[in-house]
Structure 1
């Protein structure tokens, strides 16, 4: 695998070693092999790790098959993939409701990861999961197309440098136009499928809510995640008395809706290799015009 990356203009001049280790998170063992095999070039010239690289320099990395063994993913149906954005490093797709993000057991082929593997096979890429969306949730989801960019995207997510916004339709009327829910979330000890508010031993979770429209029975809202806990939006909204319509786990009357009314509508981040600011919007919406 060979990668050619132009250093973004907003990246400060630094040693090649620092760029590979701290900026691009190349593992120590892999950096060692890159150096020993002389598999790094800067502006088409062989490079040494102590040299200074600058914004707009072009860095080429050549990896051996043993550096990043490819995962085995059973192929699904490429026709089920709706691409919103794609380049040589990453891909963003629009996930339909009812499809899992990835397999949970061997032999599964009807998940988004399987379908994406089938879509990418012609270009000799393999998808890597960056974040997940519940099976019942639809919308924008990001995958890496190579193992080099994967840890960078995961770190960006951890550092809150990737913004995810969701649409939701919830039961009842909210008394405020904006609301931030900060409640720790942990496993439900009585039902392993569910999560619950657990201020003692749960994980920190924060959801920002904006009300767009309300009727006597429900509200259309936007939710922006500051953290990404499993079932976070569903648990938080249920905990304040406004469960999502169609939520069979956290709503006592899920029959009010034919599906879980939760949809990831927007993903925003700065591309780690180009510096381009990306805002990627779903082609679908829960809200009628």
Structure 2
């Protein structure tokens, strides 16, 4: 497995060790392999981890097949992948509501399988969306970048922006919900706001107020299970179509959509932003708008 990079013109001089550990966030295990096997080249020359790198340097790193565990992902239908962004290291797909991010059973297919078929090889799940939620899902295309992206999520360097159509109105156009979330002891399917839970922070902005509902934008500082749905339910503003935390049995879908994902390229630092449209989400919002008249 070989990877090649050209350091950007605004690159600040630093050692190979600093680049791998601090700038690229490469995990210790992979740094160990590169150092032990001497698999790091600069401008065609093998170098130590104390070598100072400068802008426009050409980097080549290699891993052996035994450095990573093998991944087998059965191919799904490439026509169901709906790729909206792809580069050498990541693929982003626009997941429709009702499709799982990945299968849970041996022969069950999910978005991961369809994306694998589209790119021609297995891809790795970096984060998930609930089956009933639509929108942008990021996959790693190789095992080198997988833990780097995981670390970026942990450090809140990868940002996701959601839209939701909810019941009711809010007392303020901008709200930060800082309430811990934990398991519901009475219903294993659900999470609940509880003082014994893990810290969860959701930022909410009202975009449009309809007669009896609101279209809102949400961003997260944390990534707890069902975080948005739990926090909005706790505010007595459940999401339209939420059968778990509400009772909208007549709605065609859960009105929660991951509309945008943005992140710095892990190797160049260049900011990237991808938008994911949803016709079904927009159509339901249009119905609320039409009801205004």
Report the TM-score, using the length of structure 1 for normalisation.
0.92
List aligned pairs for 1:86-165, cutoff 5 A.
Answer: 86-109=86-109, 111-121=110-120, 125-165=121-161
Give 3-state SS (helix, strand or coil) of 1:66's partner: helix
The residue that corresponds to 1:5 in the other structure is: 5
Does 2:205 align with 1:205?
no
The residue that corresponds to 1:216 in the other structure is: 211
Q: Deviations over 1:52-101 (max 9, x none)?
A: 11233221011110011221112211110111111001111111110111
What is the aligned residue count?
Answer: 283
Aligned equivalents of 1:160 and 1:36: distance in 2? 31
Maintained 8 Å contact 2:34/2:63: yes
Aligned equivalents of 1:144 and 1:244: distance in 2? 30
The residue that corresponds to 2:255 in the other structure is: 261
List aligned pairs for 1:176-195, cutoff 5 A.
Answer: 176-195=172-191
Give 3-state SS (helix, strand or coil) of 1:224's partner: strand
Maintained 8 Å contact 2:27/2:148: no
Maintained 8 Å contact 2:127/2:138: yes
The residue that corresponds to 1:49 in the other structure is: 49
The residue that corresponds to 2:21 in the other structure is: 21
Report the TM-score, using the length of structure 2 for normalisation.
0.91
Give 3-state SS (helix, strand or coil) of 2:249's partner: helix
The residue that corresponds to 2:290 in the other structure is: none
Cα drift, residue 210 of structure 1: 0.9
Instruction: Return closer, same or farther for 1:222/1:33 CA change in 2, 3 Å cut-off.
Output: closer
Aligned equivalents of 1:256 and 1:140: distance in 2? 26
Aligned equivalents of 2:2 and 2:205: distance in 1? 44
Aligned equivalents of 1:9 and 1:226: distance in 2? 31
The residue that corresponds to 1:276 in the other structure is: 270
Farther-moved stretch of structure 1 (202-211 vs 213-222):
213-222
Instruction: Return closer, same or farther for 1:185/1:29 CA change in 2, 3 Å cut-off.
Output: closer
Cα drift, residue 103 of structure 1: 2.0
Maintained 8 Å contact 1:166/1:264: yes
Aligned equivalents of 1:24 and 1:255: distance in 2? 47
The residue that corresponds to 1:69 in the other structure is: 69
Cα drift, residue 150 of structure 1: 1.3
Q: Deviations over 1:155-192 (max 9, x none)?
A: 11111111111010001122221111111001111111
Q: List runs of 5+ in structure 1 lacking aligned partners.
A: none
Aligned equivalents of 2:32 and 2:42: distance in 1? 17
